[in-house]
């Protein structure tokens, strides 16, 4: 099983030169004519989605290049306490983290991670490790600031290390939320807060994976035979984030991830 992409709604769509992973952009026709923020980019109170990240060889040079092209920044590389990483704004004001990678003879940027805030890390880790085939490759705890970070990756077959060109899932836990019964994050699909859509995983058998999740007590947003797009499903993780379940290779020569019925 492999995490293949995340989806965000955009009302501006354009070209990028990123490689590795898949960042799906959904454009609803007509929104490009609207002024201001059409979609909710997250990072307000109780928002779950945080940001996506791209890795590059030189954060300073890449930030300077983006700035010269008119890109605005939330944080430049030498601002704040965390030196050497930056946050740019994309055209819809989503935060885009820029981080350093080991030098690679490839694209200027590669999609590095998607960050989601979670209420209870133990429940979330069990879901993504036991059911979605991911491996916890790193964790960092900041006791003074009262938050923790968990990084999960899909390890390629025959390897013990994650592929550096493929993105990881970063789970951010703000300490104490797991003990607050009334607390829930917004997942990005609520009315008035739509922006982040979902993450997606490739599986060999969509129907078998859905049955496994349901047998384990997880709910489905869309079963594989619901609606007109057959063979494609959406499960809900412990925080209610939508998890798209997609057949690896699709159902035809064009790798269409569903059949119409």
Residue range 165-174, pLDDT digits in tens = 888 999 999 9
**Active-site residue numbers?**
244
Domain contains 80: no
3-state secondary structure the chain: CEEEEEEEEECCCCCCCEECCCEEEEECCCHHHCCCCCCCCCCCCCECEEEEEEEECCHHHHHHHHHHCCCCEEECCCCCCCCCCEEEECCCCCEEEEEECCCCCCCCEEEEEEEEEECCHHHHHHHHHHHCCCEEEEEEEECCCCEEEEEEECCCCCCCCCCCCCCEEEEEEECCHHHCCCCCCECCCCCCCCCEEEEEEEECCHHHHHHHHHHCCCCEEECCCCCCEECCEEEECCCCCEEEEEECCCCCCCCCCCEEC
Label residue 164 by pLDDT band (50, 70, 90): confident
Domain that holds residue 185: 1-52+114-261
What is the pLDDT averaged over residues 8-33? 49
Q: Which range in 44-53, 104-113, 216-225 is most confidently predicted, on average pLDDT? A: 216-225
pLDDT value at residue 106: 67
Assess whether pLDDT exceeds 80 at residue 249: yes
Count of domains forming the chain: 1
Domain contains 109: no
- Does 198 carry a binding-site annotation? yes
CATH classification of the domain holding 128: 3.10.180.10
- Does 181 carry a binding-site annotation? no
Domain contains 67: no
Domain contains 105: no
pLDDT value at residue 6: 65
pLDDT value at residue 160: 86
> What percent of the chain shows pLDDT beyond 90?
60
> What percent of the chain shows pLDDT beyond 70?
84
pLDDT value at residue 118: 98
pLDDT value at residue 17: 41
What is the pLDDT averaged over residues 118-138? 97
What is the pLDDT averaged over residues 230-248? 96
pLDDT value at residue 29: 46
Domain contains 121: yes
Domain contains 44: yes
- Does 32 carry a binding-site annotation? no
Domain contains 85: no
- Does 212 carry a binding-site annotation? no
Could you report the per-residue pLDDT of 197-221, keeping only the tens digit for each? 899 999 999 999 999 999 999 999 9
Domain contains 101: no
pLDDT value at residue 34: 55
């Amino acid at each position: 099983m492999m995490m293949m992409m995340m989806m965000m709604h955009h009302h501006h769509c354009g070209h990028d030169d990123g490689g590795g992973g898949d960042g799906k952009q959904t454009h609803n026709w007509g929104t490009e004519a609207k002024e201001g923020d059409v979609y909710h980019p997250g990072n307000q109170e109780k928002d779950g989605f945080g940001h996506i990240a791209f890795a590059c060889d030189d954060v300073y040079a890449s930030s300077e290049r983006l700035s010269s092209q008119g890109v605005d920044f939330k944080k430049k590389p030498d601002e704040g306490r965390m030196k050497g990483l930056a946050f740019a704004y994309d055209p819809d004001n989503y935060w885009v983290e820029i981080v350093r990678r080991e030098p690679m003879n490839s694209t200027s940027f590669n999609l590095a991670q998607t960050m989601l805030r979670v209420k209870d890390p133990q429940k979330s880790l069990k879901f993504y490790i036991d059911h979605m085939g991911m491996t916890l490759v790193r964790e960092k705890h900041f006791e003074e600031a009262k938050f923790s970070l968990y990084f999960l990756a899909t390890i390629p077959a025959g390897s013990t290390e994650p592929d550096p060109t493929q993105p990881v899932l970063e789970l951010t836990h703000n300490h104490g939320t797991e003990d607050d019964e009334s607390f829930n994050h917004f997942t990005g699909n609520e009315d008035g807060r739509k922006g982040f859509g979902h993450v997606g995983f490739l599986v060999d058998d969509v129907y078998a994976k859905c049955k496994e999740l349901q047998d384990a007590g997880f709910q489905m947003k869309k079963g594989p035979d619901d609606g007109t797009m057959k063979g494609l499903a959406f499960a809900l993780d412990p925080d209610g984030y939508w998890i798209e379940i997609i057949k690896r290779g699709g159902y035809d020569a064009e790798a269409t991830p569903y059949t119409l019925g």
